[in-house]
Structure 1
Amino acid sequence: MRRIDHPGPVAVERYVAVSGAAVPIRFVLEPGLAVDEAVAAGMREAGCIGGFVEFRGGRCEPFRYVMPAASSDPRYVAWYSETFEPDGLVDVTRACAIVGVREGKAFLHCHGIWDTIKGQRMGHMLAPLSRVAEPIDVTGIGFRDATFEAMPDPETNFTLFEPVRHAGAGSPKAGAPVLLAKVRPNQDISFAIEEICSQHGIASAHIYGIGSLNGVRFVDGARVDSHATEVLIRTGHFASLDGQTSARLTLDVVDMDGVISSGEIVRGDNPVCVTFELVVEALGN
């Protein structure tokens, strides 16, 4: 499997997962607000401090985003492109965001696909610089006692989301567990999900999240060779049957040239590049 060497010391733990008391959430992003402000308002109204939200349609103006890019700085194995600033209204076809905290404030890590006047594009939305133009419905999973917190990551030299239990929070409420998780570089994303679920006694689950992979291999034989990509999980499922575990992920991917690819990926041949953030929703456990 492909491997990428980051400049910092390799962390012993290759993934981190914490349980939380989760609730389904649905709210409307109000026009006139920056996307991060609008999402933060909806999360506060739901009484949640972190989680995952999904956009299925919506319009923004202005809209700003970046794509993955090579790094000229030896402190990083990859970086971001220039900021793209499409003219006019941008239609968000599909986007997923991990919601957490950075420097004490609500913060979004958001990947998505959008339609611009120059065609369909994909990348990393700059939520503070993108403004809601029309009401946008979002859905997701919110946590009242856990969140993702942005922390310096010595291995990659990035500031990355880390799942954490909220200070003073008690045990998660009884019921099927829901996990916030992070997978570190060079771990196959499917195998990591299988290990996380197995260690937490989860037999089946929906998987949500975004991250970066070092190239992508699809089950139909298609491939992405870019060493840095931006990825969102379009559909994700985990199942354990008769001692056999399997994670099936269908992804949307953009490479460093802006080429968008989609499809189900191969288990065992899709290593994380920088980080991958997940919400795991157990089913009927």
Structure 2
Amino acid sequence: MRRIDHPGPAAAERYVAVPGMAVPIRYVLQPNLTVDKAVAACMREVGCIGGIMEFRGGRCEPFRYVMPAASSDPRYVAWYSETYEPVGSVDVTRACAIIGVRDGKTFLHCHGVWDTAEGQRMGHMLAPLSRVAEPIEVTGIGFRDATFEAMPDTETNFTLFEPVCRVEVDSSKTDARVLLAKVRPNQDISLSIEEICLRHGIARAQIYGIGSLNGVRFVDGTRVASHATEVLIRAGNFESENRQGRARLTIDVVDMDGEISSGEITRGDNPVCVTFELVIEEAIVETPVAAFISRL
């Protein structure tokens, strides 16, 4: 599998996963606010300090974003492109925002696909520079006891989200568990999800998240060669049987040339480039008796 050498010492633990008590979110982001402030208002209203939010349409103006790029600075293996400033309104076709805390304030890490006057584009939304132009309905999962906190990362030299518990979680009080997770560089994203789920005793789960991969290999044989990419999990799930697990991920990805690719990725051949942030939502396995009772 492909490998990329970061300038700093590699952490011994190649992923981090912490539990959180989930709060379902359905909210309308209000216009005339920047995206980060609109999301922060949502989090205050639902009483959450971290989470994940999905966009399925919604108009923003102005809108600013960047794409992955090579780095001329030896302290980093990759960097960001110039800031793109599309003319007029932009429709956020689909996007995923990991919501956490940086310098004591709500902070977003958001990847998505959007329609501009020049065509469809993908990248990393600059939420403080993008403004909600009309009410946007969003859905997600919030956490009152855990969050993603921006911290300096000695391996990559970036400031990256790290899952942290703010309150001790009693998982016995919840029907399903939700994990906030981060996978570090050079780990296959599918195999890492499988290991996280199996280690936490999760048999089935829905997978949400964003990150970067060092090139991409799809099950249909197509490839993305770029060592730096921006990735959005479009659909993800995990299932286990007889202590064996398998993750299936369908993603959108943009490379350093701005080319967008989509599809199901190959298990075991898609290593993380810089970081990958995940929310893993356990799916309750319904028994035949419970299914019968629910239909009564």
**Under TM normalisation by the shorter chain, which class is it?**
over 0.9
Which structure 2 residues correspond to residues 85-164 of structure 1 after superposition, within 5 A? 85-164=85-164
Q: Are 2:35 and 1:24 equivalent residues in the alignment?
A: no
Equivalent position SS for 1:221: coil
Per the alignment, residue 170 of structure 2 pairs with 171
Per the alignment, residue 75 of structure 1 pairs with 75
- Superposed CA offset, 1:200-239 (max 9, x none): 0000000000000000000000100000000000000000
- Superposed CA offset, 1:87-134 (max 9, x none): 100010000000000000000000000011000000000000000000
Per the alignment, residue 187 of structure 2 pairs with 187
Which structure 2 residues correspond to residues 216-231 of structure 1 after superposition, within 5 A? 216-231=216-231
In structure 2, distance between residues paired with 1:170 and 1:283: 19
Per the alignment, residue 9 of structure 2 pairs with 9
**Cα displacement (A) at 1:241:** 1.3
In structure 2, distance between residues paired with 1:197 and 1:243: 11
Equivalent position SS for 1:44: helix
Q: How many residues align?
A: 284
TM-score, normalising length: structure 2? 0.95
TM-score, normalising length: structure 1? 0.98
Unaligned runs of 5+ in 1: none
Per the alignment, residue 200 of structure 2 pairs with 200
Equivalent position SS for 1:98: strand
- Superposed CA offset, 1:33-57 (max 9, x none): 0000001111111111100000000
Q: Are 2:255 and 1:237 equivalent residues in the alignment?
A: no
Matched residue type, 2:36 = D
Matched residue type, 1:221 = G
**Cα displacement (A) at 1:174:** 2.6
In structure 2, distance between residues paired with 1:46 and 1:236: 26
Equivalent position SS for 1:96: strand
**Cα displacement (A) at 1:175:** 2.0
In structure 1, distance between residues paired with 2:170 and 2:3: 37
**Cα displacement (A) at 1:170:** 4.5
In structure 1, distance between residues paired with 2:67 and 2:94: 16
8 A Cα contact 2:198 2:243, kept in partner: no
8 A Cα contact 2:27 2:42, kept in partner: yes
**Cα displacement (A) at 1:169:** 4.1
Unaligned runs of 5+ in 2: 286-296
Equivalent position SS for 1:87: coil
- Superposed CA offset, 1:2-43 (max 9, x none): 000000001001000000110111101100000000011111
Matched residue type, 2:248 = R
Per the alignment, residue 271 of structure 1 pairs with 271
**Cα displacement (A) at 1:243:** 2.8
Equivalent position SS for 1:38: helix
Q: Which moved more, 1:39-48 or 1:209-218?
A: 39-48
Per the alignment, residue 58 of structure 1 pairs with 58
Per the alignment, residue 250 of structure 1 pairs with 250
Calculate percent identity across the aligned residue pairs.
80
Matched residue type, 2:164 = V
In structure 2, distance between residues paired with 1:174 and 1:88: 45
Residues 170, 238 of structure 1: alpha-carbon distance in 2 compared, 3 angstrom cutoff = closer
In structure 2, distance between residues paired with 1:207 and 1:33: 29
In structure 2, distance between residues paired with 1:82 and 1:179: 34
In structure 2, distance between residues paired with 1:170 and 1:179: 11
Equivalent position SS for 2:2: coil
